[in-house]
Amino acid sequence: MGRNSPLKKIIEAKARRRKDLAKLPFEEKIRILVRLQEMAGGIRKPGKPQTKGVWQI
């Protein structure tokens, strides 16, 4: 992978994005977590009960 390859740039951008997300305030991260729980619940297998729930906060 060359120094300026598109893939390398994408990987670096993703790493930067993760570092930026890591700096978010605690409260904002919890809001994102609840959204992640909602999204994970939405992609469960049809007909299967949701075994883990979304925080009701």
Which positions touch other proteins (CB under 8 A)? 15, 18-19, 21-22, 24, 26-27, 29-30, 32-33, 36-37, 40, 52-53, 55-57
Q: What distance in Å separates the CA atoms of residue 36 and residue 50, rounded to the nearest whole number?
A: 14
Please give the structure tokens belonging to residue 51.
């075994």
Which residue's CB is nearer to other proteins, number 9 or number 39?
A: 39
Instruction: State the nearest-atom distance from the C-beta of 13 to other proteins, in Å.
Output: 14
- CA atoms 44, 50, 53, 56: torsion sign: positive
Amino acid at 22: A
Q: Which is nearer to other proteins, 5 or 11 (CB)?
A: 11
